[in-house]
C-alpha cells in the first residue's frame, strides 16, 4: 500500500469520496485541508483503501477524519497515513498532531477501533470538544515525541532482526535445562 496526497486532483479525490461522511465532505474542497489517501495498485489502476483529512489549527495539525476500508485494515495502511501526517507536521513546523474520535450519546467512544489505533500510536486524551455538532474526544501527540517513539521502534526492529539472524546460526543440537539463579544469599532447603 502507498500513501498519496489527494489535493489538486478532483478525479482522485472523487475515488475516495465514498469514505467520507457528508458532515465531513466539505473538507474535500476546502483549500486549507490536506488530504491523504491510502491506495493499492491493481491490474486496472489503483484501489482506494483509506483517507485522512487534516486541518491546520495554529501550530497543531488536526486529523478531522481518518478511515480505512475494512478489507484493508490491519495491513499497515493506517500506520502509513499516520507516518505521513507526522512527517508533514514536522516538515511544516507543527509541534503536535491531534485526532478527534467521535463519541456516542453516553460520551463513550463510538465502538470503532479508531481510539485504540491512536492510543497505540502514543496519543493521549486532551479533553472533549464539539465538531460539527458531534461530541469528540481530542487525542494529542507532540511531533517530537512521535519521532522519538518511531526511532525507538525502528531500533527495536533492528535488534529483533539481529537476534533472529543469530538464532539461525545457533546450533540446533542444544537442550533446554532448568536453571536456578543464585543471588549470593544462602537459602535453606
The x, y and z cell numbers of residue 67, run together, are 478511515
DSSP code at position 104:
-
pLDDT for 182 equals 57
pLDDT for 107 equals 57
The x, y and z cell numbers of residue 86, run together, are 507526522
pLDDT for 46 equals 75
Domain ranges of the chain: 2-169
pLDDT for 69 equals 79
Instruction: Report the chain's terminal Cα–Cα distance, integer Å.
Output: 60
- For 15, phi then psi, to 5°, come to -65, -25
The x, y and z cell numbers of residue 73, run together, are 485494515
pLDDT for 87 equals 87
Which pTM value belongs to this model?
0.67
Calculate what percentage of the chain has a pLDDT beyond 70.
77
CATH number of the 2-169 domain: 3.40.630.30
Give CA–CA dist 114/99, Å, rounded. Answer: 10
pLDDT string in tens for the chain (189-residue length): 777 778 888 888 887 888 888 887 888 888 888 888 888 877 777 778 788 888 888 888 888 888 887 777 777 777 888 888 888 888 888 888 888 887 766 656 655 677 778 888 888 888 887 766 777 788 888 887 877 777 666 666 667 777 777 666 665 655 666 666 555 665 565
Amino acid at each position: 500500500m502507498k500513501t498519496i496526497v489527494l489535493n489538486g486532483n478532483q478525479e482522485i479525490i472523487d475515488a475516495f469520496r465514498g469514505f467520507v461522511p457528508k458532515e465531513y465532505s466539505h473538507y474535500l474542497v476546502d483549500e486549507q485541508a490536506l488530504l491523504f489517501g491510502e491506495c493499492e495498485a491493481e491490474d486496472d489502476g489503483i484501489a482506494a483503501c483509506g483517507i485522512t483529512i487534516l486541518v491546520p489549527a495554529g501550530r497543531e495539525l488536526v486529523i478531522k477524519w481518518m478511515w480505512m476500508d475494512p478489507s484493508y485494515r490491519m495491513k499497515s495502511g493506517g500506520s502509513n497515513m499516520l507516518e505521513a501526517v507526522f512527517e508533514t507536521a514536522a516538515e511544516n513546523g507543527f509541534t503536535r498532531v491531534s485526532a478527534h474520535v467521535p463519541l456516542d450519546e453516553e460520551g463513550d467512544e463510538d465502538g470503532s477501533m479508531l481510539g485504540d489505533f491512536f492510543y497505540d500510536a502514543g496519543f493521549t486524551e486532551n479533553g472533549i470538544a464539539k465538531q460539527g455538532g458531534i461530541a469528540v474526544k481530542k487525542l494529542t501527540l507532540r511531533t517530537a515525541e512521535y519521532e522519538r517513539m518511531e526511532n525507538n521502534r525502528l531500533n527495536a526492529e533492528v535488534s529483533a532482526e539481529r537476534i533472529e539472524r543469530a538464532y539461525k546460526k545457533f546450533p540446533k543440537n542444544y537442550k533446554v535445562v532448568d536453571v536456578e539463579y543464585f543471588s549470593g544469599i544462602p537459602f535453606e532447603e
